[in-house]
Amino acid sequence: MDTLTVEQRSAVMSRVRSKNTRPELIVRSILHRMGFRFRLHRSDLPGRPDIVLPRHGAVVFVHGCFWHGHHCKRGSEPSSNIEFWRDKIDGNRRRDRRSIRRLRRDGWRVVVVWECQTKVKQVLERKLRRIERDAVSRD
Ligand SMILES: [Zn+2]
């Protein structure tokens, strides 16, 4: 049951959308440990990727499951204001797809990490290995 008002939910969402979220910090710390060098929030790239690894021609998006409409428990729909949230989330998904398409067209390797995938270190590490140039993409 979604017990938040629209205003409260908006406040939660604006936190979710902001930079340096907890899932993002987890990804950054693992990347760092794996020896990757990266830059943050390059606003000149489509979709403003959270993490950019110029040396590998790769970008990483860390997506909140609710906000970006992941098909998982955390991404499930709220039980109130359904129309309102569905509109917002659909808009975000469209924007995400467009950004990823543009980045790939420009030759970037794009890795999307979902918030729920940051819970299990092994899963996250396996995913982040795809950043490496010779990695096999299985998405
Ligand atoms: Zn998820």
By the 10 Å C-beta count (0-12 exposed, 13-18 middle, 19+ buried), 13 is classed as middle
Of residues 79 and 127, which shows the higher confidence score? 127
Compute, in angstroms, the gap from residue 132 CA to the centroid of ligand 1. Answer: 24
For residue 130, give both structure tokens.
């795809």
pTM of the full structure: 0.80
Compute, in angstroms, the gap from residue 78 CA to the centroid of ligand 1. Answer: 14
Model confidence at 138, pLDDT cuts 50, 70, 90, reads very low
Closest by CA position to 137, among listed 118, 113, 109, 114: 109
Q: In this predicted structure, what is the pLDDT of residue 81?
A: 85
By the 10 Å C-beta count (0-12 exposed, 13-18 middle, 19+ buried), 53 is classed as buried
Compute, in angstroms, the gap from residue 121 CA to the centroid of ligand 1. Answer: 15
Neighbours of 49 (CB within 10 A): 26
If you average pLDDT over residues 51-59, what whole number do you get? 94
Compute, in angstroms, the gap from residue 69 CA to the centroid of ligand 1. Answer: 8
pLDDT in tens, 93-131: 999 999 999 999 999 999 999 999 999 999 999 999 988
Compute, in angstroms, the gap from residue 66 CA to the centroid of ligand 1. Answer: 8
Q: How many CA atoms lie within 13 A of 1 on its CB side?
A: 1
Compute, in angstroms, the gap from residue 55 CA to the centroid of ligand 1. Answer: 28
- Whether the pLDDT of residue 57 is over 80: the answer is yes
Compute, in angstroms, the gap from residue 67 CA to the centroid of ligand 1. Answer: 10
Closest by CA position to 27, among listed 135, 139, 108, 115: 115
